[in-house]
Chains A and B, each alone.
Chain A
Amino acid sequence: MNSSISRFRPWLLALAAILGIEAAYWWFARPDPVARSNFLELRFAQPDVIQRYFAYGKMEELAPRSATILHVGDSSGFHAVIPPVVDSMLPGERYLNFGIATTIGFPGYYALAQHMLERHPSLHTLVIYFSMLCAYPQPFLLSDNPQLLGTDLANDLSDPARFMLRPPTLALREEVTNRVYYLNGRFRVLDAPRTDNSGYLTFRSIMTQVGGWTRETDNPDDLPPRNIMAAWQALDPRVAERTCPRQPTTAWDWGSFSRRTHIDIVLSEFADLVARHNARLVLIPNPIPTGSEAFREIAPIENEFRRFVARRPEVLLAPADVWPSHRFSVAAHVATPHAVASSERVARFLAAHPPRQGRAASAPPEPTPADRVSISAAQPFSGYVWDTPDRTTTPPSIAMRAGRSEALLHARVRPGAPYRLTIEVPPGRAEAAREALTVSVFGVLAEPEATEDRAATTLAFTIPEAAVSRHGGFLEILLSLRGLTAWPEAQTTDRPAAEALRVHRFGLERQTGPGLAALP
């Protein structure tokens, strides 16, 4: 008997040591549940799939935040819904954009929704935002597709059995692997971004400040004009049918002993989930570009959605609006200059369908935006129609793309006061820029600061408080070389490259002083 126990003594001792280590780490560090994750692969010298970084980045930054409206779904919503814009039109609400990518799939959307609903009782609305063109519930986006990242997400976030395999020290995994794989910073800087993918770096520069939104970067400047349906035209019809079935797909359901559409099965699961959390389900399709109907007739799919909401009247379905194709970057992505309009579309629909009595919102707090923002040309930032940085200048500079007359810059600041925008340009370029440049925010002109020194390399403008506060401090700054204060519907490339605006740095600083609102 004793000898049989003694054989296990090393195991018992090891178990005690592990329990001690885990308890001590948990007690001192209290790691977030998301940090105790096996979701990232973290292979030696080999980056993960980029969508995995987007998903994990959102989980680690946004999952601890309280909200009243949670948005899950594919990349169409990731790029199309700016939470501060929605919040500004829905007083008392806090919108969180957890849209990631189609490769997450519906199991992933479900796992995220379940995790957040369990964690944040303040949530009263779950929005599933998706593209009606392909990204509706169908086999390719369900759990029988092993390529879906959502399966891993579901395992990681909502599988209680696997939770046992996620001890507190798992939160140290990324730091430990970085230190060991890269010789304590010798081969890679310890706090370097997970990947140098430009889309990911743009995402990291803006996502946390704006509740999860990031501009579309698949097609960086959306010009020259192209056939946004070209990708589908080029697709093998069999592949197109497998990835985007024309009719709702069905499966045998043992519960009801009948065949049901995947749309019905999947959305019923979501509807049941939100019902358990005293919340409601809202389905919002991304706008559809004109011309798409020639390649993908959505009526059979849309009708099945309508049948579903007729059976489950507590679920809301927004119409699949048709927008002009020049407002799109690719078929399923609204182009960056139209993301504000797209966000307003979502806000208007939600405002027209307020939550039921008893779930009146009181917006949970969010991190206070900055009073001062500095955007260097040397670092990735959220903007539109900017060329790749020129690192041969000192300091590095960035120019509006050749042939373009307008560009955008995004930032989030604390609202409630005017802001001073400074634009540092290279010597010799200041006077021409000062002559040509018009700056506006949401159609409101920013007043240029007068200067005696025409050769000064810093241009300054004052952005009025009304423009700053319009969308809760989210700023979409339009820089135009032809005096426009709104993004042109039809973009042109008629400007000579030599006239392009070149910039070293942008700065935003909250203004206080006589006649201005004092800081709270």
Chain B
Amino acid sequence: MLYRIAPLDRWLMAAFGQWLGRKLAIVLMFHLVCFGWILFRASTTEFPLVWASVLALPQVVLAPWPPLVPYWDHVWAGTAGFLPVLAGSINHIVVSNWLFAVFGWGTLLFGLTLFLPDYLGYRANGEFPDRYARMSVAARAATIVVLVYALLFFGRRQANEFIYFAF
């Protein structure tokens, strides 16, 4: 109900224009929903730990950058190649934040299964089934095959506790 009292999306669009304001509103809403999930799932003992972890995130992301600056100065000066420095930088960031990188990859991987169909539906001005209905027979068959094997290989073998039983 907060958005009715404080329509942040409209304020952002008014301040930054229709295009940028809309994108910022999407990002903001995404993070509000994520925060809501933390409130929904975490116990009172877990919440401070999760929140401390969230607050530590900017430091974790930014800390590996300073040692990389001299390398990028060489790239901008044209004395070092862009791709080798990029590869080295990624490697440095991954090694410096091993757990963040591993679980970041996991989040990306599992988030992709939600994001991709949503994005395809969004591009079709509807939802994924609308997009699916307009695909060729071969593309639909390929989609089914991919989904069957994704379930076969990555489906969880253990039943998940229904979320509302968490309370």
List residues of chain A with CB under 8 Å of any chain B CB.
9-11, 13-14, 17-18, 21, 38-45, 152, 167, 169-170, 172-173, 176-177, 180-183, 186-187
Would you call B138 and A41 a contact (CB within 8 A)? no
Binds A, one of B52-60, B61-69, B70-78, B144-152: B144-152
Would you call B156 and A17 a contact (CB within 8 A)? no
A45: chain B residues within 8 A (beta carbon) = 102-103, 106
Least CB distance from A40 to B in Å reads: 8
Would you call B153 and A44 a contact (CB within 8 A)? no
- Once bound together, how far apart are the Cα atoms of A40 and B148, in whole Å? 19
Excluding A10-B137, A181-B106, A187-B101, 18 further A-B contacts by CB distance (< 8 Å) are A9-B137, A10-B144, A11-B141, A13-B137, A14-B142, A18-B148, A39-B157, A41-B157, A42-B157, A44-B110, A45-B102, A167-B152, A169-B149, A170-B152, A173-B153, A176-B153, A180-B154, A186-B94
Would you call A177 and B144 a contact (CB within 8 A)? no
Determine whether B26 belongs to the interface, using a CB cutoff of 8 Å to chain A. Answer: no
Q: Tell me which residues from 95 to 113 in chain B have a Cβ below 8 Å from any Cβ of chain A.
A: 101-103, 105-106, 109-110
Question: Contacts A10-B137, A14-B145, A183-B105; is A177 near B157 (CB within 8 Å)?
Answer: no
Question: Contacts A9-B137, A172-B153, A181-B109; is A14 near B158 (CB within 8 Å)?
Answer: no
Would you call B144 and A14 a contact (CB within 8 A)? yes
Least CB distance from B131 to A in Å reads: 14
- Once bound together, how far apart are the Cα atoms of A13 and B102, in whole Å? 37
- Once bound together, how far apart are the Cα atoms of A41 and B155, in whole Å? 9
- Of B106, B110, B141, B158, the residue contacting A41 (CB under 8 A) is B158
Would you call A13 and B138 a contact (CB within 8 A)? yes
Determine whether B140 belongs to the interface, using a CB cutoff of 8 Å to chain A. Answer: yes
Least CB distance from A384 to B in Å reads: 35
- 24 sampled A-B residue pairs with Cβ under 8 A: A9-B141, A10-B137, A10-B140, A13-B137, A14-B140, A14-B142, A17-B142, A21-B145, A38-B157, A39-B157, A40-B157, A41-B157, A42-B157, A43-B156, A44-B109, A167-B152, A169-B149, A169-B152, A170-B152, A172-B153, A176-B153, A180-B154, A181-B109, A183-B105
A176: chain B residues within 8 A (beta carbon) = 153
B101: chain A residues within 8 A (beta carbon) = 187
Would you call A180 and B109 a contact (CB within 8 A)? yes
Contact with A along B120-141 (1 / 0, CB 8 A): 0000000000000000011011
Identity of the chain B residue whose Cβ is nearest the Cβ of A13 in the assembled complex: B141
B157: chain A residues within 8 A (beta carbon) = 38-42, 152
Q: Which of B109, B141, B144 lies at the interface centre, i.e. has the most chain A CB atoms within 10 A of its CB?
A: B141
Would you call A18 and B156 a contact (CB within 8 A)? no
- Once bound together, how far apart are the Cα atoms of A172 and B109, in whole Å? 19
Least CB distance from B145 to A in Å reads: 5
Identity of the chain B residue whose Cβ is nearest the Cβ of A183 in the assembled complex: B105
B94: chain A residues within 8 A (beta carbon) = 186
- Once bound together, how far apart are the Cα atoms of A44 and B103, in whole Å? 9
Residues of B within 8 A of A (CB-CB), count: 24
Identity of the chain B residue whose Cβ is nearest the Cβ of A173 in the assembled complex: B153
- Once bound together, how far apart are the Cα atoms of A454 and B124, in whole Å? 83
Q: Which of A17, A38, A44, A167 lies at the interface centre, i.e. has the most chain B CB atoms within 10 A of its CB?
A: A44
B102: chain A residues within 8 A (beta carbon) = 45, 182, 187
- Once bound together, how far apart are the Cα atoms of A14 and B141, in whole Å? 5
Identity of the chain A residue whose Cβ is nearest the Cβ of B159 in the assembled complex: A146
B141: chain A residues within 8 A (beta carbon) = 9-11, 13-14, 17
Would you call B154 and A18 a contact (CB within 8 A)? no
- Once bound together, how far apart are the Cα atoms of A170 and B155, in whole Å? 12
B156: chain A residues within 8 A (beta carbon) = 41, 43
- Once bound together, how far apart are the Cα atoms of A352 and B18, in whole Å? 90
Least CB distance from B59 to A in Å reads: 22
- Once bound together, how far apart are the Cα atoms of A150 and B101, in whole Å? 36
Identity of the chain A residue whose Cβ is nearest the Cβ of B94 in the assembled complex: A186
Least CB distance from A131 to B in Å reads: 28
- Of A18, A40, A42, A170, the residue contacting B145 (CB under 8 A) is A18
Would you call A17 and B145 a contact (CB within 8 A)? yes
- Once bound together, how far apart are the Cα atoms of A105 and B161, in whole Å? 23
- Once bound together, how far apart are the Cα atoms of A320 and B103, in whole Å? 51
A169: chain B residues within 8 A (beta carbon) = 149, 152
Identity of the chain A residue whose Cβ is nearest the Cβ of B148 in the assembled complex: A18
Least CB distance from A9 to B in Å reads: 5
A40: chain B residues within 8 A (beta carbon) = 157
- Once bound together, how far apart are the Cα atoms of A170 and B153, in whole Å? 7
A21: chain B residues within 8 A (beta carbon) = 145
- Once bound together, how far apart are the Cα atoms of A187 and B101, in whole Å? 9
- Once bound together, how far apart are the Cα atoms of A40 and B156, in whole Å? 10
B143: chain A residues within 8 A (beta carbon) = 10
Would you call A11 and B152 a contact (CB within 8 A)? no
B140: chain A residues within 8 A (beta carbon) = 10, 14
- Once bound together, how far apart are the Cα atoms of A177 and B158, in whole Å? 16
A17: chain B residues within 8 A (beta carbon) = 141-142, 145
A18: chain B residues within 8 A (beta carbon) = 145, 148
